[in-house]
Amino acid sequence: MHNPQHLPAVKAHLLLAGLTVLPCFVHVPYSVSIVLHAALTVYVGAWRSLRGEDGGPTESMTNSDAMRFPLVGSCVLFGLFLCFKFLPKELVNLLLAGYITIIGAVVVVGAVLPFAERLFSPKQRDRVLRFGTLPRIPFLVKEPTPLELSLPEAVLGVPALAIGAWYFATKNWLANNVLGLALSIVGVEAMSLGSMQTAGILLIGLFFYDIFWVFCTPVMVSVAKNFEAPIKLLFPRSSLRAAAAAGEKAQFAMLGLGDIVLPGLFVALCLRFDAERKFRSTYFQTVFWAYCGGVGTTIFVMNFFKAAQPALLYIVPCTLGAVAAHAALRGELKAVYEWQEAERPAAAADGADGAAGSGSGSKKKE
């Protein structure tokens, strides 16, 4: 079980939760809301990646995975475009939104679990409830798997499924954002890019991927507008109360989860790099503020040209460039470029906002 005493970025969790529901009460300029949501989500996910009984992320990407990712992503994106073009939009959204909503509801449990476990005694936390066996499902479940949940997971499962049902039935923006934020936080927490080289390969590939599909084709924008699933965050463009009083439908700006999770993995990697050095370096601060600058630049250009922008066009140069410049100034460019994580990073963060943890394993490529 997670140790609540080492739960990182507690203040950031609370700020993100408050910011998410704030538009229900007062209007927040969507440009400000986008930047704050993206920054806090990446910050929370990065610090969470330092903890856990397994010592950090459980899934790692290789260089070959990073090279294939933009190609696979392109195939999936174009496939969705064709589905929306030639199949009933309602049917496509029903199937895909239902699948993603169920995953999102499950992920909500993982996102809230470290907090909720504090409410249970050690004996209750260790209690395992068995709900039968999941049958083999092609492409989803490879072999029959026992369905077992701890007592806190089972209790949290009820409101999590309720949020999923709420979104699926109403497509409400707040339910969408709860699911989307949970997916983003757990995604940054659970995945690792493995090495700085892999991070560079992935982000550079996605830089060209985003440019091509947004500027050279209508595919990306078309899919984003038609795909009704919690794969993006929604931000009210005007006061929700004013729109409701006028009997008008609220308009929303959007930010894709990929623009949070994928660069967020690099930010988290830099944090674990600092943790391996017992925080004697500050690459995390550099890349985090560079990410904020990249998101802010995206919003500025979008508003200036009144057109959708590929966020990674601005985020990737900001983050990679900032880390490279930082390393060059410290005379560590080669060391940073060659650094990679061990299979099981082992770092712990004490406190919410930057206390040093124990070192994570690292090794150099031979």
Query: Can you give the pLDDT at residue 148?
Result: 82
> What is the percent of the chain with per-residue pLDDT over 70, rounded to a whole number?
87
Mean pLDDT of the chain: 87
Quick one: average pLDDT of 271-293?
Answer: 95
Query: Can you give the pLDDT at residue 355?
Result: 37
pTM above 0.85, yes or no: yes
For the cut 70, the answer to whether the pLDDT of residue 339 exceeds it is yes
Cα–Cα distance list, 328 to 44, 85, 209, 316, 334 (Å): 28, 48, 28, 18, 9
Query: Can you give the pLDDT at residue 124?
Result: 87
Residue 330 lies in a domain: yes
- Domain range for residue 84? 7-354
Quick one: average pLDDT of 231-245?
Answer: 90
CB burial of 146-176 (b: ≥16 within 10 Å; e: otherwise) equals eeebbbbbebbbeebbebbebbbeeeebbbb
Quick one: average pLDDT of 232-246?
Answer: 90
Residue 152 lies in a domain: yes
Residue 360 lies in a domain: no
The residues annotated with a catalytic role in the active site are: 210, 259
Residue 252 host element (H or E):
strand 252-256
For the cut 90, the answer to whether the pLDDT of residue 345 exceeds it is no
For the cut 80, the answer to whether the pLDDT of residue 6 exceeds it is no
The residue with tokens 């927490």 is: 189
Number of domains within the chain? 1
pLDDT digits (tens, 9 = 90+) for 22-42: 999 999 999 999 999 999 999
Query: Can you give the pLDDT at residue 51?
Result: 66
Query: Can you give the pLDDT at residue 141?
Result: 60
Residue 201 lies in a domain: yes
Quick one: average pLDDT of 96-120?
Answer: 90
Of residues 85 and 353, more confidently modeled: 85
pLDDT digits (tens, 9 = 90+) for 158-176: 999 999 999 999 999 999 9
CA distance 253 to 30: 7
Cα–Cα distance list, 177 to 32, 182, 186, 187, 362 (Å): 16, 8, 14, 15, 35
pLDDT band at residue 118 under the 50/70/90 scheme: confident
Lowest mean pLDDT among 83-92, 111-120, 354-363: 354-363
CA distance 149 to 155: 9
pLDDT band at residue 1 under the 50/70/90 scheme: very low
CA distance 273 to 283: 8
pLDDT digits (tens, 9 = 90+) for 43-91: 999 999 986 444 557 678 999 999 999 999 999 999 999 999 999 989 9
CA distance 330 to 281: 10
Residue 2 lies in a domain: no
How many Cα atoms within 13 Å fall on the side-chain side of residue 230?
32
pLDDT band at residue 344 under the 50/70/90 scheme: low
pLDDT band at residue 247 under the 50/70/90 scheme: confident
For the cut 60, the answer to whether the pLDDT of residue 155 exceeds it is yes
Quick one: average pLDDT of 129-136?
Answer: 74
SS3 58: coil
pLDDT digits (tens, 9 = 90+) for 175-219: 999 999 999 999 999 999 999 999 999 999 999 999 999 999 999
Query: Can you give the pLDDT at residue 126?
Result: 85
